[in-house]
Structure 1
């Protein structure tokens, strides 16, 4: 009974700390689904990306917290792309004007983003990940399983260490 209570307490702490039961470590990575448009890339699938480490970055171009993370994501993309990291930005709009492809393209150009960006206007991929946050990082291992998550700003060194660890496997 005591063991069961401890497990329940730990589960409650985890759910409270992340805010919901988002895609969990060791879960298979959900597929990119319902994507209206792919920018900087042809359409990608998780099956195509198997064997690579994938950073899925949920963002929107007017979110100040997302804007603060972009330099880190760009740096990781440049530093690790030749070692097997693929960054996929999933642009999920908060406001109606963020759904316009021209606005997203202008933001990509303004921020100097060169990695693939999936325009998730209908929140289909967002929902597949049970995501609730901008920004949100999901690191996928070479076997296609979620290995690490982080929501919001910060923990850049921890996230980069997770990227390095997964690339070394």
Structure 2
């Protein structure tokens, strides 16, 4: 995800969602340390009550949600594989956005 964040930094907002599985997963120091170890510099939402997880009925980690600039969900993808498909979708959405603004 860091590659996507950096590659599309002028066109894409990236946010991470941390879904705690236990009380220990709520330790902010550990979350910050792990984020730093993995080069995660984008904002991280800590879904401590699983409200976002439930709102999207998400059962998968990792899961990727791509919204267009109007806030409409345009793509959902679960699992760590298939990054090429994710990039194709992002490119398509950015291309459509660019064409619409011309």
TM-score, normalised by the number of residues in structure 1: 0.55
RMSD: 0.9
Alpha-carbon distance in structure 1 between the residues aligned to 2:94 and 2:31: 30
Alpha-carbon distance in structure 1 between the residues aligned to 2:63 and 2:23: 20
Asked if residue 151 in structure 1 is aligned to residue 78 in structure 2, the reply is: yes
After the TM superposition, which residues 67-106 of structure 1 pair with which residues of structure 2 at under 5 Å, given as runs? Answer: 73-82=1-10, 84-106=11-33
Asked if residue 112 in structure 1 is aligned to residue 22 in structure 2, the reply is: no
Alpha-carbon distance in structure 1 between the residues aligned to 2:23 and 2:62: 18
Asked if residue 168 in structure 1 is aligned to residue 70 in structure 2, the reply is: no
Alpha-carbon distance in structure 1 between the residues aligned to 2:36 and 2:80: 22
Any unmatched runs of 5+ in structure 1?
1-72
Alpha-carbon distance in structure 2 between the residues aligned to 1:115 and 1:137: 14
Q: Which structure's relative contact order is higher, taking Cα pairs within 8 Å and 6+ residues apart?
A: 1
Runs of 4 or more off by more than 3 Å in structure 1?
A: none
TM-score, normalised by the number of residues in structure 2: 0.89
Deviation per residue, 1:27-75 (Å, 9 max, x gap): xxxxxxxxxxxxxxxxxxxxxxxxxxxxxxxxxxxxxxxxxxxxxx000
Any unmatched runs of 5+ in structure 2?
97-102
Deviation per residue, 1:56-110 (Å, 9 max, x gap): xxxxxxxxxxxxxxxxx0000000011x201110111122211111110111111
Secondary structure, aligned partner of 1:106:
helix
Asked if residue 134 in structure 1 is aligned to residue 61 in structure 2, the reply is: yes
